[in-house]
Structure 1
Amino acid sequence: MADVVDEVIMDSADENDDIITRSPEELAELKKENGNQLYKIKQYRSALPLYSEAIKLCPNTAAYYGNRAACYMMLNRFIEALEDVRRCVQLDPKFVKGYVRMAKCSLAMGDLKTAEFAIKKVQDMQVDGQTIANELKSYEKLKQYESESNKAYEKQDYRKVVFCMDRCMDEAPTCNRYKLIKAECLTFLGRFQEAQDIANSILHIDKGNADAIYVRGMCLFYEDNLDSAFQHFQQVLRLAPDHKKAMNIYKKAKLLKKMKEDGNEAYKACKFQDAYNLYTEALKIDPLNKKTNAKLYFNRATVLSRLAKTREAIDDCTAALNLDESYIKALLRRAKCYADIGEHEDAVRDYEKVFKMDKSRENKKLLQDAKLALKLSKRKDYYSILGVERNAGEDEIKKAYKKRALIHHPDRHANASESEKKEQEKKFKDVGEAYGVLSDPKKKMRYDNGQDLDEFDGGMPDVDPTQVFQRFFGGSSHGGQEFSFGGGFPGSFTFQFR
């Protein structure tokens, strides 16, 4: 074993002696060849320093830059690769591979201007058309989808932009510019997690990427995290003072925050119209900011409620929920507004949604109360039928019954049309039913408490309004009182209880 090692050491020493005697050009060529061998077996990281050593030995040899550029490209280090191919074609303007690699690098980076320049150079050299065919095809696709993307962006068709960027990344999967354009539009579409994932993946490699920080700031802004958004926009402007998009959205964010806070202060000071105006102006600042705008609509709905504009308050709550369907405060506000105007079915529907999202004891009670109000709204209003207030006493109820019963008694409308007779019969029956309940303390208490009268003493029997009338006026089968309906006008008549 020792003899073998000595032999290897001797061979190594001989090789070192041989290298020492070689010229820089020969050594550079050897380094290049060794690099090529590693490149062929995809050992790009190992090949890279060998190409760099060859360049150091012979800095004016175009092929060495071309080889190192190819190695950089396999490692997705396109910026360094582009620098090498620029140096390569500068040393040898006729180096076709250098221009082909320049086109590849440019396309990978989404730099269509440089790609077009490189493709034209190859075409001008009148080489085989297949040499640059793939690059030309990719260039045409990128050019098409970039153009479509720009038009869609101007129209705020952000879904189309995302589609176009995906097609661009089919050709240039490592292009950060395409990724960040997509991420920005995902933010506009409310797909914040996807946008943040793209931005974070870029910042993991390039912590100072201003566009990626801008996208993260946008996500925070549209999620109504304004303070953190401000910090991101400030960082972008420190890195890139001329970043127009960051400057514009930073101004929007500051103005939006100020107007919202001013509206809140006006509301607290009971200056409701001023608060309404401030919230209205704030809603115009950025229509894409759904989270903040949902809160502004809710705040304005609260103001409208205080201004007794209930229907408009409902509309604003609906607008808030269209922007954020899980906004419980807006659901609660709208439900209360519905209840206030007697639209109890809609109120119950909203309270059910609230309870489904938050099964708290308080929300359960609100739902129960709403269902009770709905139930009460569907039963007859006996107080209204008699024309008395809910706090009416026994005497007042009796007087009201006497008055209404005489007005609606069927005998008074004997000469009326059939439809009118039926209407008056119904009202006469309702008056008797109302009196039957409100004149009985137990039934009245159950009625006032919203309990079912059908469950009272085995059920609420059908009321015979004539019996109620006779009982109330003291009529009997042996004679009684006589009532005259008509007051001297044609068609008047008299009937007598016997």
Structure 2
Amino acid sequence: MSAADPEEVKRAGNDLYRKGCFEGALRLYDRALALCPDNAACRGNRAAALIGLDRLGEAVKECEEALRIDPSYGRAHHRLASLHIRLGHIEDALKHLSLATPQPDLLELHKLQTVEKHLGRCLDARKAGDWKSVLRESDAAIAAGADSSALLLAARAEALLRLNLLDEADLAISSASKLDYTSSCSSDTKFCGFLANAYLFYVHAQIDMSSGRFDHAVSSIDKARIIDPGNTEVVNMHNKVKSVARARSLGNELFNSGKFSEACVAYGEGLKQHPMNKVLYCNRAACRFKLEQWEKSIEDCNEALKIQSNYTKALLRCFSHPFHDAFQSAVLQGFPIREHTVRQIPIC
């Protein structure tokens, strides 16, 4: 291979690509582009290697650069259409699919139409507050081809949260956050009436708040409001998150000062804003424990367990109860754990 001949270097990269050595192929394509920056085919090949490495946002940029060099480059249009389907960008996918060849690839067109159908149903279900349908249709759209859509994963996470499946919601929003979304989507992209980036932060804030990550929740909703300040759902959630975080902070301060009755009231104010917050229930249970309000303490632990059945602190608080034997059946209800004797469990 001549190190000075970009075509030879590109061919060597192609050999590595065919063997599945995407990192090595990418390095050779970079070397070829350093010798000949306006080589559209090499840009397209570089995009293919990036797809192999699951760096889809960068692959989109590389295809766009190939088309800047050669607007009629059909393979780049086709590759870009496939990328946009995976990312859930329906209009962009349709545009590039129509430009790829005189006749669109029928398999890709069918995939696009199926994703579009399920995405539309998902959006309609969210407007109606039908969270089971949101979950079903987002799953169907992902399975049909939009497997790297951060927005669909976020919609799935929001549906799981509303269906009281907190652990699964947390996993879903974590997966969405790992995707290279911002580099593959314009800042004015809309989803469910939100600016797309704002929706991701909006869902993240809800899950963080429900999981007791109050500082992260405040940070996420602040970002959502900066991006989409006129969105009513964002504004309302911003107010709620701030209010709940303040209630938790005040409750903790009062608890640590030994003012347990006042702390109960503070946590209760937070629960008025967010009745599905396991941490506030568990913290109020600690206050009621200190006040020797045994039955109310157990009730709060049970409420926390309804939200997250494997929430360890709520289980341990129940077993630290002086009369926990009397309440054991109410607390466990199918949770096969050993008894613990724990007297001091910190608030969250």
Pairwise TM-score range, normalised by the shorter structure: 0.5 to 0.7
Aligned to 1:222: 210
User: Are 1:44 and 1:71, in contact at CA under 8 Å, matched by a contact in 2?
Assistant: yes
Paired residue type of 1:104: S
Aligned to 2:57: 79
User: Please, which of 265, 270, 273 is the counterpart of residue 285 of structure 1?
Assistant: 273
* Whole-angstrom distance in 2 between the partners of 1:296 and 1:219: 20
User: Please, which of 202, 211, 226 is the counterpart of residue 241 of structure 1?
Assistant: 226
Look up the SS of the partner of 1:241 in the other structure: helix
1:151-166 to 2 correspondences below 5 Å = 151-166=124-139
* Whole-angstrom distance in 1 between the partners of 2:25 and 2:268: 64
User: Please, which of 117, 120, 130 is the counterpart of residue 144 of structure 1?
Assistant: 117
CA shift, 1:358, in A, is 6.3
* Whole-angstrom distance in 1 between the partners of 2:317 and 2:30: 65
Compare relative contact order (CA 8 Å, sep 6+) and give the higher one, 1 or 2.
Answer: 2
1:414-453 to 2 correspondences below 5 Å = none
CA shift, 1:102, in A, is 1.1
CA shift, 1:248, in A, is 3.9
The TM-score normalised by the length of structure 1 is 0.48
1:126 is the counterpart of 2:102: yes
After superposition, give the CA deviation of every residue in 1:278-298 in whole Å (9 maximum; x if it has no partner).
999866534554664798899
User: Please, which of 239, 242, 255 is the counterpart of residue 254 of structure 1?
Assistant: 242
- CA distance 1:254–1:36, change in 2 (3 Å): closer
Paired residue type of 2:62: D
CA shift, 1:174, in A, is 2.8
Aligned to 1:197: 171
Aligned to 2:330: 353
- CA distance 1:295–1:126, change in 2 (3 Å): same
- CA distance 1:144–1:67, change in 2 (3 Å): same
User: Are 2:278 and 2:303, in contact at CA under 8 Å, matched by a contact in 1?
Assistant: no
* Whole-angstrom distance in 2 between the partners of 1:138 and 1:352: 51
The percentage of aligned residue pairs carrying the same residue is 21
Aligned to 2:32: 54
The TM-score normalised by the length of structure 2 is 0.66
User: Are 1:38 and 1:47, in contact at CA under 8 Å, matched by a contact in 2?
Assistant: yes
* Whole-angstrom distance in 1 between the partners of 2:275 and 2:102: 54
1:97 is the counterpart of 2:97: no
* Whole-angstrom distance in 2 between the partners of 1:161 and 1:64: 41
* Whole-angstrom distance in 1 between the partners of 2:69 and 2:260: 76
Aligned to 1:42: 20
After superposition, give the CA deviation of every residue in 1:294-326 in whole Å (9 maximum; x if it has no partner).
9889999xxxxx9xxxxxx99xx9899577457
Paired residue type of 1:234: S
* Whole-angstrom distance in 2 between the partners of 1:203 and 1:270: 40
CA shift, 1:36, in A, is 1.8
User: Are 1:82 and 1:102, in contact at CA under 8 Å, matched by a contact in 2?
Assistant: yes
User: Please, which of 184, 187, 205 is the counterpart of residue 161 of structure 2?
Assistant: 187
Look up the SS of the partner of 2:273 in the other structure: coil
User: Are 1:152 and 1:161, in contact at CA under 8 Å, matched by a contact in 2?
Assistant: yes
- CA distance 1:330–1:152, change in 2 (3 Å): farther
- CA distance 1:65–1:357, change in 2 (3 Å): closer
Q: What count of residue pairs does the alignment treat as equivalent?
A: 308
Look up the SS of the partner of 1:187 in the other structure: helix
Farther-moved stretch of structure 1 (188-197 vs 321-330): 321-330
CA shift, 1:163, in A, is 1.9
* Whole-angstrom distance in 2 between the partners of 1:218 and 1:80: 29
- CA distance 1:156–1:281, change in 2 (3 Å): farther
* Whole-angstrom distance in 2 between the partners of 1:318 and 1:140: 50
Look up the SS of the partner of 1:148 in the other structure: helix
- CA distance 1:293–1:207, change in 2 (3 Å): farther
User: Please, which of 167, 173, 177 is the counterpart of residue 151 of structure 2?
Assistant: 177
User: Are 1:145 and 1:167, in contact at CA under 8 Å, matched by a contact in 2?
Assistant: yes
* Whole-angstrom distance in 1 between the partners of 2:19 and 2:70: 28
* Whole-angstrom distance in 1 between the partners of 2:260 and 2:41: 77
What are structure 1's unaligned runs of at least 5 residues?
Answer: 1-14, 21-26, 301-305, 307-312, 332-347, 361-498
User: Are 1:61 and 1:91, in contact at CA under 8 Å, matched by a contact in 2?
Assistant: yes
CA shift, 1:46, in A, is 1.3
* Whole-angstrom distance in 2 between the partners of 1:178 and 1:199: 10
1:324-363 to 2 correspondences below 5 Å = 324-325=305-306, 353=330
Aligned to 1:64: 42
Look up the SS of the partner of 2:164 in the other structure: coil
- CA distance 1:203–1:150, change in 2 (3 Å): closer
RMSD (Å), alpha carbons: 5.0
User: Are 1:196 and 1:219, in contact at CA under 8 Å, matched by a contact in 2?
Assistant: yes
* Whole-angstrom distance in 2 between the partners of 1:198 and 1:112: 22
CA shift, 1:253, in A, is 2.8
What are structure 2's unaligned runs of at least 5 residues?
Answer: 184-196, 319-324, 342-348
